[in-house]
Amino acid sequence: TAILGYSCLVSAGGDLAGSEFSALNRLSQGYDMTAVTNQQGNNNIATINQSGGHSLGAISQNGGHNSALLNQNGFNNRAALTQYGRDNNASVSQSGTDNTVYLVQAGIANDADITQNGFDNTAVVINRGRNNLTQINQTGTNRSAGVVQNSAGMAIRITQN
């Protein structure tokens, strides 16, 4: 919802006209920003907050009981989150310029938390199993991280300063 042109918040859960689909385009504080969410399962929650400019968001959750939070503050930040399974939690916070995140959780009960502060940081996470934990904290310039977890019960924590 946009209030007086400030803040971009997408929150969808429960039944939205029988399809649980919602999309937002160009609602933000700043300029030239896009936020999109697509939810097909039951009891999914997606929240996108954007401020700054030239940022993109995107959240797609196909299973049920997934929760995703995307906070973007700055310029030219990109993010894409998809959670195909159920009971997955994702949190992404971007502050700065030219930060990129890709996040895919295809399994059950995976948890991912990514924080990017600075410039030109990249993080890629794929959790395909169940009960996996991924935490990435990037502060500074030109930080990169990539995580793939195909099994169950794994945990990866990355801090880049």
Q: Has residue 115 got a pLDDT over 90?
A: yes
- Strand duo 122-127 + 144-149: pairing: parallel
What is the predicted pLDDT for the residue at 18? 29
Tokens of 147: 């995580």
Q: How confident is the model at residue 40 (pLDDT cuts 50, 70, 90)?
A: confident
Mean pLDDT value across residues 92-116: 95
Assess contact for 38 and 15: CB atoms under 8 A.
no
In whole angstroms, what is the distance from residue 32 CA to residue 26 CA? 6
pTM over 0.95: no
Confidence (pLDDT) at 30: 57
For residue 2, pLDDT over 50 is answered with no
Element counts in the chain: helices (H) and strands (E): 0, 14
Classify each residue of 31-46 as buried b or exposed e, where b means 16 or more C-beta atoms within 10 Å of its C-beta.
eebbbbbbbebebbbb
Say what the pLDDT of residue 26 is: 36
* pLDDT at residue 16, as a whole number: 34
